């Protein structure tokens, strides 16, 4: 097996069948097939058609991993079933008030089985282990109750509602903001 320059270790407490790993060329093919229309991404993730060229270009250049965020594939029993992403968000000046924001996309057949909860938990642990982040956040549509439950099960705390925060489908949508602080993670060291 070739050496992986970006290992993503399995995190304690997650089932052995859900893992994260760097995105492969085959994964990009799957993402294009599954996430290119409203049926694939679902009602809360459809923002219109996008060109796959930019994603493939970034993958060829950086492997979709870098200091300003990244993307990893979600695998169940070794088969790719989606992706997780992280990107910087600021709550003030970028040099002092930046945190990571998470996003997830699962193929329809992988939804509703706890895979998203475990994948988001794995990514959160990975970011706390490999970056200096103190806060990691995610948001979802106010009507996306499944994702709200997944974030809460992954240890995120509901912080509030961002009114008219996301433009999608011809109108503005409220988003529910969740976050986890480094001190709140389940394996946080206590002094």
Q: What is the pLDDT of residue 188?
A: 55
pLDDT at 144: 95
The count of domains in the chain is 1
CATH number, domain with residue 33: 3.40.630.30
Please list the pLDDT of the chain residue by residue as tens digits (191 residues): 333 344 444 444 445 699 999 999 999 999 998 888 877 777 777 778 888 899 999 999 999 999 999 999 999 999 999 999 999 999 999 999 999 999 999 999 999 999 999 999 999 999 999 999 999 999 999 999 999 999 999 999 999 999 999 999 999 999 999 999 999 987 655 44
Q: Would you say residue 58 lies in a domain?
A: yes
At 31, give phi and psi (nearest 5°).
-60, -40
Position 107 in a domain: yes
CB neighbour burial string for 79-111, b if at least 16 within 10 angstroms, e if fewer: ebbbbbbbeebeeeeeeeebbbbbbbbbbeebb
The rounded distance, in Å, linking the Cα atoms of 162 and 174 is 6
Residue 5 in any domain: the answer is: no
- Please tell me the distance from the alpha carbon of residue 15 to that of residue 161, in angstroms, as a whole number: 31
151 within some domain: no
Q: Note whether residue 32 is domain-resident.
A: yes
Instruction: Quote the domain boundaries for residue 51.
Output: 18-136
């Amino acid at each position: 097996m070739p050496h992986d320059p970006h290992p993503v270790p399995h995190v304690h407490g997650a089932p052995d069948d859900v893992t994260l790993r760097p995105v492969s060329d085959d994964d990009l093919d799957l993402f294009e097939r599954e996430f290119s229309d409203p049926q694939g991404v679902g009602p809360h993730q459809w923002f219109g058609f996008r060109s796959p060229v930019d994603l493939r270009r970034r993958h060829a250049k950086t492997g979709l991993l870098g200091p300003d965020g990244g993307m990893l594939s979600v695998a169940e029993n070794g088969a790719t079933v989606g992706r997780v992403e992280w990107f910087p968000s600021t709550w003030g000046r970028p040099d002092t008030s930046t945190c990571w924001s998470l996003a997830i996309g699962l193929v329809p057949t992988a939804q509703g089985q706890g895979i998203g909860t475990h994948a988001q938990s794995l990514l959160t642990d990975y970011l706390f282990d490999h970056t200096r982040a103190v806060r990691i956040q995610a948001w979802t549509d106010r009507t996306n109750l499944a994702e709200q439950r997944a974030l809460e099960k992954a240890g995120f705390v509901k912080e509030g509602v961002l009114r008219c925060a996301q433009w999608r489908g011809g109108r503005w949508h409220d988003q529910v903001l969740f976050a986890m602080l480094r001190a709140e993670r389940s394996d946080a060291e206590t002094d």
